[in-house]
Amino acid sequence: MADEQHDTIDDLLAEARTFPPPEHVTRDALVTDTALYDEAAADHEGFWARRASELVSWAREWDTVCEWELPFSKWFVGGTLNVSYNCLDRHVEAGRGDKVAIHWEGEPGDTRTLTYAEMLDEVQRFANVLKGLGVERGDRVNIYLPMVPEAAVAMLACARIGAAHSVVFGGFSSQALADRIDDAEAKVLITADGGYRRGEVFPLKPAADEAIAHTPSIEHVVVVKRGGNEVAMVDGRDHWYHDLMETADPTCPAEPMDSEQLLFLLYTSGTTGKPKGIMHTSGGYLTQVTYTAKYVFDLHPDTDVFWCTADVGWVTGHSYIVYGPMSNGATQVMYEGVPNFPGNDRFWEIVEKYGVTVLYTAPTAIRTFMKWGPEEPAKHDLSSLRLLGSVGEPINPEAWMWYHQYIGGGRCPIVDTWWQTETGGIMISPLPGVTTTKPGSATFPLPGVVAEVVDDAGERVDHGGGYLTLTRPWPGMLRGIWGDPDRYRETYWSRFPDRYFAGDGAKLDADGYLWLLGRVDDVMNISGHRISTTEVESALVSHPGVAEAAVVGATDPTTGQAIIAYVITRGGADGDGVTAEQLRAHVAAEIGAIAKPKAIFITPDLPKTRSGKIMRRLLRDVAEGRTMGDTTTLADASVVEELQRRAAESPQED
């Protein structure tokens, strides 16, 4: 109909392949039936109370499970616990002190192995160091470190004494660090001389010095010696980590904290340019990450070696390197460097070396591995792997299949997880012993999570595209934005009454499976149709010659917006025999002519942040011929210049 209203996101891409849980998985899985789902559906608060009781050690049990005054929640009110105790002491007390907590691999090839007893010793000493520097319960401590064990030690030491940590990714600029220190009014900064990346030392201390020249709240700086690069030390303010640890008291009892004690701030970029300090507290957050780490990854702490490839500077590193796995007493791998140093097979070398059984990585990384080719993982024995995970953005079905075939050997279930900094822990994911998966679908909300897709009017959508909302509070949810409750309400709770909405589109297929469609900011309006960039990207990546694709909508006088695509081919050569016209025809065949890109640029690389996320904002700038926005967070700013050159030289299709 000519006057048809498209008030949701169009559902274009169909996926018919299904993968039931393999028999060898269901035989040993922690969850093999729907009992948890049934329990949560029957009694939402009771379900979470039982998880908190079973999985977390409390100094004092709570009086009230949940206090909910929209949009503010409190969980396990009146209960007290210590997060550091849950991650360390209780395992040592149970006789598991000799169990390996962290296999650490430095990029140059140096290694360290830390048991739970050794981690507890380090954390107690560093907690006393912080106390000696004047840090008290309720203070904020900034952490600006490479991927070294001291990052986890610092986080757990803060938790031990009730100081909130604010971790800033080591790849961020001095200005980004200064903004986060200032907003939190942090008292102490923990940094390093430098760290290793692509075979070179990147200096951290000089950037930290630049930042704290403008941050009056910082009283002391603790510096971990890692890079060996020359740094300036200010007398009275700057202290070497190893010097402080040598004289630190080895005993620091874990103090019981209120369940709602602020555990950490983690800053996300805001549309206004001012970072948002996401607040997470202790009891509810720990319950959720312990529960999800255990059941989503089907963790068997006695036999599993878990590897989450994220940086501790992101929420994935908080929840699934430090708090979730360590609360479960798991053994894990922590790696300092990049996936392609000294070779493109570094990840697979590490999997083989440590016998990794559960691997949790990002679709961006998987698509990069596709570009490098299956011969790289084929160099190594990956038979230890039994479960694969995906995190960070929707995974294209063909990237899912490549991961399944070449990394998992066709035998490993894939848990494609959806969650956010704000949710604290995984919200939507398969359970590997229960869920039949579909490539590219995060499947269903976990037991205890209530999610609905709605249209523009906030009406529930049972089939088709719309907006992903959460309708019940959950223990790990953010408690607000630091110092700005009005912004919290406006950002997450104003679009749809009584619902949490953080900006992601989703669709439901005929079987009720959820498919994430990316940020609604990345939905394009093409001749009245609302088309997700994720679906067009997935169609492009399904072409056998394409490794990675990024799609944006550029202003168009005829259609409102036009689809512009940037494509990396699998062979890595410039084009590699794949033409833009072939790809346009392929998209039309896969999901319809309405989604056919107006222009496709074949490029050797895409503009990505240091965490691997594609900067679509910059691609829109290129497509519309605008002056570039801020490129300081890019891993390689020269990529944008190359794209601009190609755009200027390439005629657009009709």
DSSP 424-478: -S--B---TTTPPB-TT--BSBPTT--EEEE-TTS-B-SSEEEEEEE-S--TTS-
494-510 pLDDT, tens per residue? 999 899 998 899 999 99
Q: Is the four-CA dihedral 464, 469, 471, 472 of positive or negative sign?
A: positive
d(CA 205, CA 191): 6
162 dihedral zone (left: phi>0; alpha: psi -120 to 50; beta): left
Which residues on neighbouring strands pair with residue 416, listed in sequence order?
390
pLDDT of residue 239: 98
Ordered by where they begin, the domains of the chain are 23-54+94-437 (3.40.50.12780), 527-649 (3.30.300.30)
Rounded average pLDDT over 168-172: 87
- DSSP output for 172-237: S-HHHHHHHHHHHT-SEEEEESEEEETTEEEE-HHHHHHHHTT-TT--EEEEE--S-------TTT
d(CA 65, CA 75): 6
d(CA 58, CA 196): 39
pLDDT of residue 15: 79
Instruction: Look up the pTM and report it.
Output: 0.86
Residue 513 has pLDDT above 70, yes or no: yes
pLDDT of residue 643: 76
Share of the chain above pLDDT 70, in %: 92
Highest mean pLDDT of the ranges 168-177, 418-427, 618-627: 418-427
Which range has the worst mean pLDDT, 450-459, 472-481, 540-549?
540-549
336-365 pLDDT, tens per residue? 999 999 999 999 999 999 999 999 999 889
Helices assigned H by DSSP within 43-98: 44-55, 83-84, 90-91
**359 touches 352 (CB < 8 A):** no
Residue 271 has pLDDT above 50, yes or no: no
101-152 pLDDT, tens per residue? 999 999 999 999 999 999 999 999 999 999 999 999 999 999 999 999 999 9
325 dihedral zone (left: phi>0; alpha: psi -120 to 50; beta): alpha
Residue that wins the pLDDT comparison between 97 and 578: 97
Share of the chain above pLDDT 90, in %: 74
Residue that wins the pLDDT comparison between 361 and 629: 361
pLDDT of residue 6: 42
DSSP 240: E
616-627 pLDDT, tens per residue? 878 888 888 776
For the stretch 302-314, what's the b/e string if a residue is b when 16 or more beta carbons lie within 10 angstroms of its beta carbon? eebbbbbbbbbbb
Going by C-alpha positions, the residue among 206, 192, 200 that lies closest to residue 148 is 192
Residue that wins the pLDDT comparison between 167 and 522: 167
Average pLDDT, the chain: 91
